[in-house]
Amino acid sequence: MNYTELTTNIADICENTFTADQLAMFTQQAEQKIYNTVQFPDLRKVGTPIAMVSGTATITLPTDFLFPYSVAVISGGTDYIYLLQKDTNFIQAAYPTPATTGVPKHYALQNATTLLLGPTPNSTDNISIEYGYYPESIVTATNTWLGDTFDSALLNGALVEALRFMKGEEDMVAVYDKLYLQSIGLLKQLGDGKLRQDTYRSGQVRDRVG
């Protein structure tokens, strides 16, 4: 489902005319809820490697960074040394002298835009950051994974937002809220279940019979 189809369905089901800004708001609010409920591969990104500065303990995070999956030093340009996540207090206590340098072993989110490394790097090797982010919204993209693969969650989520905006009847809001939760449940089975297992490791899905 592309954005034109989505907005047409919203207007038809609600039997109402909305402005372009209102339709975009309903859609983006639904996307944000979905992206923070289910994790699937389209929400993961490996950023462009960032060169450390010898003697500097901080790294500027990518502008679309939401949360980390992993952080690694690429030693010598080939070997990945994965760092352990800690909080800033731990790093400041474990490495109280920033001038003392070495190969980083730990990292912490200092703030929304900065990564703190411990110990302070002693090289200009690259840092690789795999992180969660919001992919481009279907409002501006030609196609999105969510719209192409699981449009029921997107449509029902946007309908809930539209009906609330219209101050719709509570029973109708409840109906579409239930449909949204059902579609999210199926999406979680895919994103947090099927995409995280295989038959070699987990065996085939099977129902118990009496």
Per-residue pLDDT for 206 more than 90?
no
Rounded to two decimals, the pTM is: 0.84
Q: What is the pLDDT of residues 130-165, one digit of tens each?
A: 999 999 999 999 889 999 998 999 999 999 999 999
Q: How confident is the model at residue 69 (pLDDT cuts 50, 70, 90)?
A: very high
pLDDT at residue 77, rounded to an integer: 87
| pLDDT computed for residue 209 by the predictor | 77
Rounded to an integer, the average pLDDT of 77-92 is: 95
Q: How many residues does the chain have?
A: 210
Mean pLDDT score across all residues of the chain: 92
Task: Spell out the domain ranges in the chain.
Answer: 3-41+136-196, 44-132
Residues 107-146: b if buried by 16+ CB within 10 A, e if exposed: bbbbeeeebbbbbbbebebebbbebbbebebbbeeeebeb
Give, rounded to a whole angstrom, the gap between the first and last alpha carbons of the chain: 41
pLDDT score of 170? 85
Contact 73, 129 (CB under 8 A): no
Tally DSSP H helices, then E strands, for the chain: 7, 11
Model pLDDT, residue 203: 76
Q: pLDDT at residue 169 above 90?
A: no
Average pLDDT over residues 166-192: 87
pLDDT of residue 111: 94
